[in-house]
């Protein structure tokens, strides 16, 4: 066992930290308040090679693997979660890289790292959340095309994306719910395809979240991912597993950032004639926060390392996501508590971190769904 980061991993971590610390703090509050995607900062992140980190070199990406990509996400979320989500502009490209035809990979993947295209991945619908196989947006073959009808909900980057990777029902009659869905690439500008931003989210407001509608949208048959219908179940499960680690990295990052803010604050804030850091009750909170972050980070890195070694383990992935979400919420809560009323009033950025952290327990599988996955790995489909 070797717990040391490689020289490359240390370099990635350092570069991501420097970029986020330079680019985010001055503008984070403004983008949060405006509920606007930070386009100029995203462009710089593309130029420096942070976007689409896991895209392989043969398709124009930096080929950092999942450990390297998770480290960038962690560092970005450490400085600001809403801004950090600018990295999600490659969302859906995991599906293209792992399941697309060679033509699809060559056509779309090289556009993503340099920022020539923003992608989104549309699975969730108003009535299909945790139960993704209830998705009822249909894609019906018509000659050399498919015609898509339906709607998607809560889609990250939906309003700013150039390409959507959309989960559709392609077999409406099959009794086997695991063999009814397929993914399609839908380009922006196709007639009948519209997106509208959902406003007033609790947190990560610099990240675009949108509702999509498809009204007789026609796409060429070659936009069917992998060229085969009804393979969507295994593809969507792969997507969730990969992106659970992205979310886990976010959880570790926001917890680390909040923790550092709290430590700094309690050393300078004085009550009863002393720095509040000197009170044992406060020290116990600090110790608990540090212990939780350390365990969450180790589990995250283990899960990423396993994927990079070709060992795909849904149980360790779900444990990493479940625990990172839990500590993201508890650490930001404690960090705000330690700031007292100044934290509550938004004098410091800690209240934004507190609002941002909650999403880690919701998207890419709620904490309850993670528990179901873990239990299923232990007990089987009881």
Ligand X SMILES: Cc1cc2nc3c(=O)[nH]c(=O)nc-3n(C[C@H](O)[C@H](O)[C@H](O)COP(=O)(O)OP(=O)(O)OC[C@H]3O[C@@H](n4cnc5c(N)ncnc54)[C@H](O)[C@@H]3O)c2cc1C
Q: Which residues bind ligand X (CB under 6 A)?
A: 91, 120-124, 129-130, 154-156, 204, 209, 359, 362-363, 366, 368-369, 372
Smaller CB separation from ligand X, 326 or 339 = 326
CA 3 to chain centre: 25
Task: Assign 196 to helix, strand or coil.
Answer: strand
Active-site annotation holder among 125, 361, 364, 370: 364
Q: How far is the CB of 152 from ligand X (least distance, A)?
A: 7
Smaller CB separation from ligand X, 152 or 339 = 152
Rounded CA-CA distance 120/276 in Å is 45
Write the CB contacts of 107 (distance below 8 Å, at least 6 apart in sequence).
Answer: none
Rounded CA-CA distance 113/52 in Å is 5
Smaller CB separation from ligand X, 262 or 369 = 369
DSSP states of 85-124: GGGGGBTTHHHHHHHS-HHHHHHHGGGTTTTS--EEEE--
Residue nearest ligand X, CB atom distance? 129
DSSP states of 65-77: HHHHHHHHHHHHH
Smaller CB separation from ligand X, 232 or 301 = 232
Q: How far is the CB of 204 from ligand X (least distance, A)?
A: 6
CB 61 within 8 A of CB 54: yes
**Residues forming beta bridges with residue 120, ordered by sequence position:** 164
Q: How far is the CB of 91 from ligand X (least distance, A)?
A: 6
**Residues forming beta bridges with residue 213, ordered by sequence position:** 151, 194
Q: How far is the CB of 130 from ligand X (least distance, A)?
A: 3
Whether 364 sits among the annotated catalytic residues: the reply is yes
Q: How far is the CB of 341 from ligand X (least distance, A)?
A: 28
Active site residues: 364
């Amino acid at each position: 066992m070797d717990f040391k980061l490689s020289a490359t991993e240390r370099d990635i971590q350092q570069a991501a930290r420097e970029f986020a610390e330079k680019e985010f703090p001055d503008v984070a509050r403004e983008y949060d308040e405006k509920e606007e995607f930070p386009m100029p900062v995203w462009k710089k992140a593309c130029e420096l090679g942070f976007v689409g980190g896991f895209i392989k070199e043969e398709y124009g990406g930096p080929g950092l693997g999942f450990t390297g990509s998770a480290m960038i996400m962690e560092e970005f979320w450490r400085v600001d979660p809403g801004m950090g989500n600018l990295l999600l502009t490659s969302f859906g490209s995991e599906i293209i890289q792992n399941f697309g035809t060679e033509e699809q990979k060559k056509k779309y993947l090289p556009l993503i790292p340099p920022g020539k295209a923003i992608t989104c991945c549309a699975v969730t619908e108003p009535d299909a959340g945790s139960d993704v196989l209830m998705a009822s947006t249909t894609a019906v073959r018509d000659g050399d095309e498919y015609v898509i009808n339906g709607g998607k909900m809560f889609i990250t980057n939906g309003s700013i994306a150039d390409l959507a990777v959309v989960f559709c029902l392609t077999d409406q009659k099959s009794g086997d719910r695991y063999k009814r869905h397929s993914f399609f690439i839908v380009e922006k500008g196709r007639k009948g395809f519209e997106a509208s931003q959902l406003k007033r989210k609790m947190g990560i407001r610099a990240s675009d979240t949108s509702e999509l509608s498809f009204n007789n949208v026609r796409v060429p048959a070659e936009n069917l991912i992998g060229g085969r219908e009804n393979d969507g179940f295994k593809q969507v499960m792969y997507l969730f597993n990969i992106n659970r680690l992205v979310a886990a990295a976010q959880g570790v990052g926001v917890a680390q950032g909040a923790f550092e803010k709290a430590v700094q604050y309690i050393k300078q804030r004085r009550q009863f004639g002393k720095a509040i850091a000197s009170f044992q009750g406060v020290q116990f909170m600090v110790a608990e926060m540090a212990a939780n972050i350390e365990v969450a980070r180790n589990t995250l890195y283990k899960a990423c390392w396993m994927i990079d070694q070709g060992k795909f383990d849904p149980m360790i992935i779900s444990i990493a996501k479940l625990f990172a979400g839990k500590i993201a919420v508890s650490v930001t809560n404690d960090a705000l508590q330690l700031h007292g009323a100044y934290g509550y009033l938004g004098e410091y950025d800690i209240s934004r971190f507190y609002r941002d952290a909650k999403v880690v327990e919701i998207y890419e599988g709620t904490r309850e769904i993670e528990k179901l996955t873990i239990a299923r790995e232990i007990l089987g489909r009881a």
